[in-house]
Amino acid sequence: MLDIIKQKRMMQITIALLVILNLALISSMVINKRPGQNDPDHPRGLEGFLKSELGLTDSQTEAMHNIRKQHFDNAHPLLSSLADSLELLISESFKPMADSTRANELVLNISNIHVDMDRALYDHFVELNALCTPEQQARLKDLAGELMRGGSQPPPPQGMGAEGRPPHPEGQAPDRRPPPRGQGPGSGAPPPRDR
């Protein structure tokens, strides 16, 4: 019985820490946002970058501005709901008699908000894609992939490396990341776990 109570308490602490980290990440993204970055009303932000990279016409740029503004208007309430639900989940985990049913409802709500946000992002890219010519669509697809892999920063200009620096003199810099688990030197079957 004592083991179950310890496990439940540990799970509550883990959930609380994850929620706090999520809130800290969202807060830092909002606080550290550079002027014009992802701002649909700022012409030099991502819109200016996309206009030059895709070769958008003025009418396409205006339509893109309206699409992005609508996307941000739709996403803002979702982000607010997410923050509210995360706050409620943290609050629930620190109650003397935490209600696991309520916690499950909040977790499900948070999951549903993430699904809605992902769907909104999908719809946003569909609308942007429909705005472009076939040549622009191919470039937009490449840029979207780069943006998704690298966060919300536009990729550096053509011919430049990360953070706008010239590329590595020998082509690509060596990959210094550790090999995936189970690969690399001395990789064999992982040691058995103690149970």
- Exposed/middle/buried for 89, CB within 10 Å: 0-12, 13-18, 19+? buried
The residue segments making up the domain with residue 21 are 10-151
Could you report the per-residue pLDDT of 165-180, keeping only the tens digit for each? 455 455 555 555 555 6
Q: DSSP readout, 143-186?
A: HHHHHHHHTTSPPPPTT--GGGPPPBTTBS----SPPPTT-STT
pLDDT for position 48: 81
Could you report the per-residue pLDDT of 118-147, keeping only the tens digit for each? 899 889 889 989 999 999 999 988 888 887
Residue 125 lies in a domain: yes
Run of H or E residues at 44: none
Residue 5 lies in a domain: no
Residue 170 lies in a domain: no
Residue 95 lies in a domain: yes
Residue 173 lies in a domain: no
Could you report the per-residue pLDDT of 26-36, keeping only the tens digit for each? 777 767 655 54
Contact 106, 92 (CB under 8 A): yes
Residue 193 lies in a domain: no
pLDDT for position 9: 79
Residue 48 lies in a domain: yes
Question: Hey, what's the torsion of the CAs at 166, 153, 45, 29, to 10 degrees?
Answer: -140
pLDDT for position 134: 92
Q: DSSP readout, 14-25?
A: HHHHHHHHHHHH
Question: What does the alpha-carbon distance between residue 46 and residue 140 come to, in Å, rounded to a whole number?
Answer: 12
> Global pTM?
0.53
Residue 114 lies in a domain: yes
Round the average pLDDT of the chain to a whole number and report it: 75
Q: Which two tokens stand for residue 79?
A: 């982000």
Residue 137's alpha-carbon distances to 67, 120, 128, in angstroms, are 16, 19, 9
Count up the domains in the chain and report the number: 1
